[in-house]
Amino acid sequence: MIELRTPTQIEQMRPAGRFVASVITALSEKAAVGVNLLELDELAHRMIKDAGAESCYIDYHPSFGASPFGKVLCTSVNDAVLHGLPFDYTLQDGDLLSVDFAASVDGWVSDSALSVVVGTPREADLRLIGVTEKALAAGIAAAKPGGRLGDISAAIGAVAHEADLKVNLQFGGHGVGRTMHGEPHVANDGRAGRGLKLRPGLVIAIEPWFLHTTDEIVFDPDGWTIRSADGSRGAHAEHTVAITIDGPLVLTARD
């Protein structure tokens, strides 16, 4: 069921957005050569506890997961692009790291993701991250009342196609509210003018993710970590966005 939030409820969602943004910022600043993925998870765990927030991930167990997630953030490295389960891995020079984090504050959820290069960057990785961030901005700009859900998908897809990237449609954005994942599904490619009419009060996570040379994915044995089928690297970007009468409001905007 698709739920619309009142202006008062959207205001109540702001603290969750600010908190998630602060954690994503802290994680991106902490990520460096020699830092273990489990250290990043521990940092997010401490911030959740200090803020009196609740993790959306630790007990999360959808049908595709082999078990409850068990950690409080996703860390996807190099050819991993989504749902990376943190493990005992020390970041190396040149790694492409994506961090994805969602939490609940006072019963309201926000969700955000960011990709960074650790240490010495590859030009191709910087380009991929740039395209992903550009697609996110395009999707947000299309999240206007009176438009259609397909406008968001088409805007994201147009950026990908302009960069000669293929788009996987198995995973994308989603509704956000009292829980992390809800309706509607927001595909990362589509046709403008199609789909759900965008109305004030709709709150969605818009999250483009792209791979260098493929749109095919495989799962790790953990049932969570999603990698490119050809070993090429991936990037992921995400914001929680409320559609208001004045246009899109990015609840997880980072300073």
Sheet strands (E) in the chain: 54-55, 74-77, 80-82, 96-105, 108-117, 173-175, 182-186, 203-206, 209-211, 217-219, 226-228, 234-236, 239-244, 247-250
pLDDT tens for the 255 residues of the chain, in order: 899 999 999 999 999 999 999 999 999 999 999 999 999 999 999 999 999 999 999 998 877 777 899 999 999 999 999 999 999 999 999 999 999 999 999 999 999 999 999 999 999 999 999 999 999 999 999 999 999 999 999 999 999 999 999 999 999 999 999 999 999 999 999 999 999 999 999 999 999 999 999 999 999 998 899 999 999 999 999 999 999 999 999 999 998
| pTM, two decimal places | 0.96
Catalogue all structural domains in the chain, each as residue range(s) with its CATH number: 7-250 (3.90.230.10)
Helix H, strand E, coil C: the string for 18-80 is HHHHHHHHHHHHHCCCCCEHHHHHHHHHHHHHHHCCEECCCCCCCCCCCCCCCCCCEEEECCE
∠ CA 239-24-30, rounded to 5°: 155
pLDDT of residue 171: 96
Burial tier of 38 (Cβ tally within 10 Å: 0-12, 13-18, 19+) = middle
Whole-angstrom CA distances from 66 to 83, 219, 222 are 12, 11, 6
Amino acid at 86: P
pLDDT of residue 1: 87
Buried b (16+ CB within 10 A) or exposed e, 63-72: eebeeebbbb
pLDDT of residue 14: 98
CA Rg, the chain, in Å? 17
d(CA 232, CA 162) in angstroms, rounded, equals: 19
